[in-house]
């Protein structure tokens, strides 16, 4: 394991993106690493949960490919501690555990995708690419449309910049996971309209396995805790009974 890794750039192309593979099967890890490096990603491999957390305390990858059955510290605990300390990298859980309860727990504590082993190389690369693209979506539409699109959104003491994918509260940066930011930006860009849980599952999660209406509710709860003046009485992330959610600026 090397400590020569440097912080990633801001381009959304693969060559500017870094990935940590936290997997104790060295043969599998090597295969994944080779496939990712061929695509232009910078890849680091770690085989132990505790070592993985130590590496993450010193480095900031764009994506973590996380096995659950790790020596030292299991993957759930790695993810839980990483998110608790503000870690905002995207996380793709790659595990042989295929029970729904495991998938739900993974999403609940902050995973962005959950893939059951074994998985084909092409599907794995496609899932990685989909997550990476969400980190900095390419501008859509004509130049006029892009220029007219509002980038900054302010509510209470919060500033959300959709272009740079940054969130400030009281002038201090708020760490959101990529999925949390996608969720928030989708609500904001809905213009105050009511968005159903089904629409959120389809548009934000693309109906990933393990995503349920409860997953949506849990993301709302986390965003309220991070952004609302009083999470118990939300003013901006509003629940519409039996209909879904809406954003109120």
CATH number of the domain bearing residue 186: 1.10.10.10
* 131 and 161 share one domain: no
SS3 assignment, position 99: coil
Q: Count how many domains the chain has.
A: 2
Gap between the Cα atoms of 190 and 248, Å rounded: 10
pLDDT digits (tens, 9 = 90+) for 191-239: 888 888 888 877 787 655 556 777 888 889 999 999 999 999 999 999 9
Does residue 5 form part of some domain?
no
Q: What is the pLDDT of residue 208?
A: 58
pLDDT over 60 at 147, yes or no: no
What average pLDDT does the structure give for the chain?
A: 82
Q: What is the mean pLDDT of residues 55-84?
A: 92
Q: What is the pLDDT of residue 191?
A: 80
pLDDT digits (tens, 9 = 90+) for 15-52: 578 999 999 999 999 999 999 998 889 999 999 999 99
* 108 and 178 share one domain: no
Does residue 94 form part of some domain?
yes
* 161 and 224 share one domain: yes
Domain that holds residue 80: 14-135
Helices 121-135, 26-38: axis angle to 10 degrees equals 60
The pTM assigned to this predicted structure is 0.58
* 174 and 118 share one domain: no
Q: Domain ends where: 97, 114, 135?
A: 135
CATH number, residue 66:
3.40.50.2300
Range list of H helices, the chain: 26-38, 49-58, 75-84, 100-108, 121-135, 143-148, 178-189, 197-203, 213-227
Does residue 88 form part of some domain?
yes
* 81 and 180 share one domain: no
* 128 and 163 share one domain: no
Residue 107: Cβ-neighbour burial (10 angstroms; 0-12, 13-18, 19+): buried
């Amino acid at each position: 394991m090397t400590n020569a890794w440097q912080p990633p750039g801001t381009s959304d192309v693969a060559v500017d993106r870094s990935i940590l593979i936290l997997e104790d099967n060295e043969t599998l890890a090597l295969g994944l690493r080779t496939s990712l490096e061929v695509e232009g990603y910078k890849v680091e491999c770690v085989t132990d949960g505790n070592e993985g957390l130590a590496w993450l305390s010193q480095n900031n990858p764009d994506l973590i490919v996380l096995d659950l059955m790790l020596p030292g510290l299991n993957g759930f605990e790695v993810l839980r501690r990483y998110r608790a300390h503000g870690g905002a990298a995207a996380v793709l859980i790659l595990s042989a555990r295929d029970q729904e309860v495991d998938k739900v727990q993974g999403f609940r504590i902050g995973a962005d995708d959950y893939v059951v082993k074994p998985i084909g190389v092409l599907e794995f690369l496609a899932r990685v690419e989909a997550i990476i693209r969400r980190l900095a979506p390419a501008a859509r539409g004509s130049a006029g449309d892009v220029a007219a699109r509002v980038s900054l959104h302010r509510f209470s003491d919060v500033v959300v910049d959709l272009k740079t994918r940054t969130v400030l509260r009281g002038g201090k940066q708020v760490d959101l996971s990529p999925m949390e930011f996608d969720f928030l930006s989708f609500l904001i860009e809905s213009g105050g309209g009511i968005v159903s849980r089904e629409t959120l599952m389809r548009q934000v999660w693309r109906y990933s396995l393990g995503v349920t209406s409860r997953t949506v509710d849990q993301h709302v709860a986390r965003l309220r805790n991070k952004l609302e003046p009083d999470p118990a009485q939300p003013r901006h992330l509003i629940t519409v009974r039996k209909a879904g959610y809406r954003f109120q600026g």
